[in-house]
Amino acid sequence: MPIQLNPRLLSWAPDLEDSARDQAVNTSKLPFLAGHVALMPDAHWGMGATVGSVIPTEGAIVPAAVGVDIGCGMIAARTDLTSHDLPDDLDRLHAMIGEGIPHGAGQQHDDGRSIPPTNGASVALTHRLFDKAQHQMGTLGGGNHFVEVCLDELDRVWIVLHSGSRGVGKELAEVHIDKAKGLMKSYFIDLPDPDLAYLAEGTPEFADYIGDMLWAQRYAMRNREQMLMAAHEAFDDFLGRGVVIEDVINCHHNFTEREHHRGRNVWLTRKGAIRARTGDRGVIPGSMGAASYIVSGLGNPASYDSCSHGAGRRMSRAKAFATFTADSLIEAMAGKAWNGAGEAADLVDEHPGSYKDIDEVMANQADLVTVEHTLHQILNLKGKDDRNRRRRKGRR
């Protein structure tokens, strides 16, 4: 059950760290807040606003609260396969998926891809960014983005994928975040946190942001669809036969939409949260090596029809590098096809121990979702982040 932290802040996270609590309290003080801020059970400190926060606003939007990976989310597909259709060794399948889906920071396809029409997008979507968007369509990125192959409780094979709007979404977000901060300075508006800089509805800056944000959300959804197709083709080639996709769920967890809640039309920002209206289906992943969940929403009005987006970090990436080792990650991933020992040192920040326990997160949101399927990984593909290599070199 949620905890009332103040009259405008409701939390499903029992283990909220002080920095995240302070950040969420600042958000709850926004004058254009249309209700309370709802913190999901995976909530933790984030850039701009607390990851795992649901923020209803009237008359303004905080671009940094949406985040820099606009439209980031999950796609999951159930196939007609069971574990008996797969060999014990999936290393070749891992390599084939990696060949079909460029992964890692800055990775691109050689050929330009079809992307959503740019109707409504602002001049911030330059020719350079448009070209970047075409070449990054169908690519994974780095950080916590991944492709997994999982088995459910009935031994059925699922493809699960996490990614967003790639470099173009990040650059568009940064343009508008900087613009909002500049406006605050020009209007002499003091905020408890500069990252809470906002754009007022009815202004050209607001309209430009909405156009670019909605475009980036469409781009992110199509990006996941393209990668699912590539993973599907890898399965076909690996098994030498056509694999049937029987069910697909594609959902954002970094986005804003116009929604009606508690008798008001609001802009509802979900940063690290999934929409979970009654019957809405979502994908909630754990950390590397942990379980993931296919869920159905319960439509809880107190959470604005929302639920968690994953396990949520329990420590920063820098602290994870200082706490865990490549050897401990290798041990945690034993028995799974994954990037392997050769890349373990660059993936230590994704160590399962750096995330909250996904089973505890799920227990803390029993009033937000019901579990349809529990998925266990047998293959995990992650994109390396070059920043990790620089971090490790800096400590030598």
Catalytic residues: 309
C-alpha pair distances (Å), 340 with each of 330, 353, 376: 7, 18, 18
In this structure, how many other beta carbons lie within 10 angstroms of the beta carbon of residue 217? 24
Answer for the pair 306, 368: CB distance below 8 angstroms, yes or no. Answer: yes
- Put residue 9 in one of left, alpha, beta given phi > 0 → left and psi -120 to 50 → alpha: beta
C-alpha pair distances (Å), 169 with each of 16, 147, 153: 29, 20, 36
- One-character DSSP codes across 300-364: -GGGTSEEE-SS-BSS-HHHHHHH--HHHHHHHTTTSBSS-HHHHTTSGGG-GGGB--HHHHHHT
Rounded distance, CA 309 to CA 272, Å?
Answer: 5
- Put residue 304 in one of left, alpha, beta given phi > 0 → left and psi -120 to 50 → alpha: left
Q: Where are the alpha helices (DSSP H) in 74-126?
A: 91-100
Q: How far is CA 289 from the centre of its chain?
A: 17
φ, ψ of residue 124 in degrees (nearest 5): -65, -25
Using DSSP's 3-state secondary structure scheme, residue 120 falls into coil
In this structure, how many other beta carbons lie within 10 angstroms of the beta carbon of residue 384? 18
